[in-house]
Structure 1
Amino acid sequence: MSERLMSKKKPAFPVNKKLDAYLEHYSRKIEIPIFYEDLLRFSGSIVVYDSNDEDTLWVRVYYSEFDRVEIDISLKKVYSILHSDGSDSIFPFLNVDAVDYCTFGNSKPFRIKVRNILNDNFTYFYVKRTDASRIYGLELEHMLSPYNLNFLVYGDTLIEEHIAGIPGDVFIKEFLPKCNESEKSQLAKEFVKFNERCMIRLLGDMRSYNYVIVPTHDFDHVVYKIRAIDFDQQCYEGKLKVYRPQFFKENYEMVMLVKEKLQRNSVDQYKIEERSIVAKRILSSGNRIKRLISIVKMDKISNEQNIAALALHIQDLTGDIDFKTCKTMGEVLALALDFVKRNYQDVSMKQIIENRINI
């Protein structure tokens, strides 16, 4: 199913001057000492296998001795800029344990593993090619989801912090069968909310390997949350189903979980809750989201066929004829977010009036 839903390959879109200025204004644009192209100078690689000896689709790359010294220092500097004050003072305590390269998917990222040699704690960050649609996706996730994101852009290079969690495909295969009935009900609820959030902000291709399940221990039980980790397919495809995780075959077990654990009225309730939360975040984001939306409305991040198709699909869903006039994917996004916000405000105002009458 998912192969028919998606285009074969999404192109990368350049960052225009207005988006570049936006990134600088909000401290996303910072000079870094290494570019994506620099990491492509590796002299060899070996396949990375998981604990079950299966190919992870990542390869561990290595560099010549001369390049390795320069790249190590540069990657430590990037780590310091991303996670600390940008100074060199922490360099003696850091070691770049691995540089992995992913040969799968559009972005072909590098994954950098940095370890603190004093206590063996380690973390990851990613080096990717800059893509305007991915940047819009990261910013919208930062503003409209429950999670803040830390990333940097400089020229043609994008640095993203690691989002910790259990990859969705791994969780479904290895952990879901071990969950008790209460945990399965909670996961079903979270998938409904995640599905709704992706559709509202037009984040596509949330197959199980593009999100993570985050377990948090809370007193006597475990709370599960679902987080997107790939923002490559923000506002590109023309089919509305692409923006709804429920329609990917990789998420079949999660969809069946929803059918087994939730009644129709519960599903509707959770959808309304998520729409209301997103609407509140739109309102609280103020000028930042207004500025971002004004930029994306004028940007080219899709083609005419996809824009026309998606506008028609959302018009059919919402009944809002304003979608007919959309000329860019940013305009489709702006109207979709405005529709959610207006509906929330209309319901809130109706509730206020009803409460006053009852008083």
Structure 2
Amino acid sequence: MSDDLKISKRKPTYPISEKLDTYLSEYRRNIDLPIFYSDLLRFQGSIVVYDKNDEDTLWVRVYYNDYEREEIDRSLKQVYSHLLSDGGKGILKFLSVDAIDFCTFGNSKPFRIKVRNILNDNFTHFYVKTADASRVYGLELEQMLSPYQINFLVCKDTLIEEHIAGIPGDEFIKNMLPDCSPKEKAQIAKEFVKFNERCLIRLLGDMRSYNYVIVPTHDFDHVVFKIRAIDFDQQSYEGNLKIYRPQFFKENYKMVELVRKKIQNESVDQYKIEERSIVAKRMISYHTRLNALLDCMVEDEISIPKHIEMLKEDIYGYTMDLNFRKSKNMGEILRNALDFVKRNYEDVNLRRL
């Protein structure tokens, strides 16, 4: 654990390359949208959004001129239809855009759209962001290498993301973790070990407690807790290997303490092996698609030379695998990291034959 772990204040937004754009079209992530991120920036004013405890959420609710609002609402309902349905217009008459919120915190500065079904009052959120190549790579890797499905669309310089439901990690740690039973705390500790390993394997950085959610699921007579990333802005950008390991952020201190108290070192090693094996199996299942994505990444610019040099030396020191020193960019570093995990998995299974 280090309190001095620093993340770049202003990570640049990397454009979608032509090759990545072709990949997104092939896998149905690309679509013509009726509205873009820049259109939503033309709001006329805003009010602060407070939570149930009257604390500032860092979101503001924006409003537009009357002559623009009707067109914006219609376009956002069409986006909803493309993201969550078949893209048809038949459902539009049953939808209402109840709120458009804007967040000035962080790199992505997203808009959060609340869409309600007027027949039954059920509502759904989705996000409109600037299409950053780092984030798109992160989302695709999450789809392929994590246990979770993820839904997003890209059109030119605009990214649409489905909301990921769960309890924000920082809120859970502060308000709910103290009341968990000993068995629940042990299970949460196990999940944090596996989440930590998964982030490291696929080089997803900046998993401070407010960048992931806790998802509780009732199973027979107990609750199972899962940890799920919600921010993919720091996919393969930073040079410090510790940034890809959630355990080193001070915001996760209580989770790390939980691991120390509840899990023996032998079990920590076991859970890491389990996670590596699961990721390796998913790599085999997604072999063609994953290689196509990595081909895009190898030819793309998603970091700076200083970070690339630092990271490949850090990982070499961690693995003693010379392939990392030969890496020329972040795409090659990630490919070598995934190959390293896959080789170890296959070697173990060969030895069992």
TM-score (norm 1): 0.97
Q: Which runs of 5+ in 1 are unaligned?
A: 353-359
CA–CA separation in structure 2 for the residues paired with 1:56 and 1:22 = 36
Range that drifts further, 291-300 or 181-190: 291-300
Tell me what 1:165 maps to.
166
Q: Which amino acid aligns with 1:74?
A: S
Q: Which amino acid aligns with 1:327?
A: K
SS in 2 for 1:324: coil
SS in 1 for 2:307: helix
What does 1:101-120 align with in structure 2 at a 5 Å threshold? 101-120=102-121
Tell me what 1:357 maps to.
none
Pair 1:319 & 2:320 matched:
yes
Q: Which amino acid aligns with 1:153?
A: V
What does 1:59-138 align with in structure 2 at a 5 Å threshold? 59-138=60-139
C-alpha contact (below 8 Å) 2:313/2:325 kept by paired residues: yes
Tell me what 1:5 maps to.
6
Tell me what 1:147 maps to.
148
TM-aligned CA deviation for residue 9 of structure 1: 1.3
C-alpha contact (below 8 Å) 2:5/2:243 kept by paired residues: no
Query: Residue by residue, what CA displacement relative to the aligned partner does 1:249-272 show, whole Å, maximum 9, x if unpaired?
Result: 111110100001000001000000
CA–CA separation in structure 1 for the residues paired with 2:251 and 2:336 = 30
TM-aligned CA deviation for residue 286 of structure 1: 1.6
Pair 1:30 & 2:23 matched:
no
TM-aligned CA deviation for residue 322 of structure 1: 1.4
CA–CA separation in structure 1 for the residues paired with 2:285 and 2:91 = 36
C-alpha contact (below 8 Å) 2:49/2:58 kept by paired residues: yes
SS in 2 for 1:224: strand
Tell me what 1:233 maps to.
234
TM-aligned CA deviation for residue 325 of structure 1: 1.2
SS in 1 for 2:154: strand
Seen in structure 2, the aligned counterparts of structure 1 residues 205 and 44 have a Cα distance that, compared at 3 Å, is same
SS in 1 for 2:39: helix
What does 1:279-298 align with in structure 2 at a 5 Å threshold? 279-298=280-299
Seen in structure 2, the aligned counterparts of structure 1 residues 2 and 86 have a Cα distance that, compared at 3 Å, is farther
CA–CA separation in structure 1 for the residues paired with 2:205 and 2:25 = 27
TM-aligned CA deviation for residue 4 of structure 1: 3.9
C-alpha contact (below 8 Å) 1:5/1:241 kept by paired residues: no
CA–CA separation in structure 2 for the residues paired with 1:166 and 1:67 = 34
CA–CA separation in structure 2 for the residues paired with 1:57 and 1:82 = 26
Tell me what 1:174 maps to.
175
Q: Which runs of 5+ in 2 are unaligned?
A: none
CA–CA separation in structure 2 for the residues paired with 1:217 and 1:322 = 44
SS in 1 for 2:183: helix
TM-aligned CA deviation for residue 5 of structure 1: 2.2
TM-aligned CA deviation for residue 175 of structure 1: 0.8
SS in 2 for 1:153: strand
CA–CA separation in structure 2 for the residues paired with 1:8 and 1:128 = 18
TM-aligned CA deviation for residue 2 of structure 1: 5.9
What is the Cα-based RMSD across aligned positions, in Å?
0.8
SS in 2 for 1:51: coil
CA–CA separation in structure 2 for the residues paired with 1:183 and 1:70 = 48
CA–CA separation in structure 1 for the residues paired with 2:265 and 2:4 = 29
CA–CA separation in structure 1 for the residues paired with 2:178 and 2:287 = 43
CA–CA separation in structure 1 for the residues paired with 2:3 and 2:277 = 29
Seen in structure 2, the aligned counterparts of structure 1 residues 133 and 226 have a Cα distance that, compared at 3 Å, is same
How many residue pairs align between the two structures?
A: 352
CA–CA separation in structure 2 for the residues paired with 1:109 and 1:67 = 20
C-alpha contact (below 8 Å) 1:235/1:301 kept by paired residues: yes
TM-aligned CA deviation for residue 3 of structure 1: 6.2
CA–CA separation in structure 2 for the residues paired with 1:81 and 1:274 = 34
Q: Which amino acid aligns with 1:244?
A: R
CA–CA separation in structure 1 for the residues paired with 2:90 and 2:237 = 42
CA–CA separation in structure 1 for the residues paired with 2:67 and 2:221 = 53
Range that drifts further, 222-231 or 5-14: 5-14
CA–CA separation in structure 1 for the residues paired with 2:331 and 2:287 = 18
CA–CA separation in structure 1 for the residues paired with 2:296 and 2:350 = 30
C-alpha contact (below 8 Å) 2:128/2:158 kept by paired residues: yes
TM-aligned CA deviation for residue 92 of structure 1: 1.4
C-alpha contact (below 8 Å) 2:5/2:249 kept by paired residues: no
CA–CA separation in structure 1 for the residues paired with 2:78 and 2:252 = 39
CA–CA separation in structure 2 for the residues paired with 1:286 and 1:247 = 31
Range that drifts further, 150-159 or 321-330: 321-330
Q: Which amino acid aligns with 1:84?
A: S
CA–CA separation in structure 1 for the residues paired with 2:334 and 2:57 = 34
Query: Residue by residue, what CA displacement relative to the aligned partner does 1:286-327 show, whole Å, maximum 9, x if unpaired?
Result: 210011111101111001110010000000111101111111
SS in 1 for 2:228: strand
SS in 1 for 2:102: strand
Q: Which amino acid aligns with 2:301?
A: K
CA–CA separation in structure 2 for the residues paired with 1:54 and 1:2 = 26
What does 1:148-297 align with in structure 2 at a 5 Å threshold? 148-297=149-298
Q: Which amino acid aligns with 1:212?
A: V
TM-aligned CA deviation for residue 13 of structure 1: 0.4
C-alpha contact (below 8 Å) 1:111/1:124 kept by paired residues: yes
Runs of 4+ in 1 over 6 A off after TM superposition: none
Q: Which amino acid aligns with 2:250?
A: K
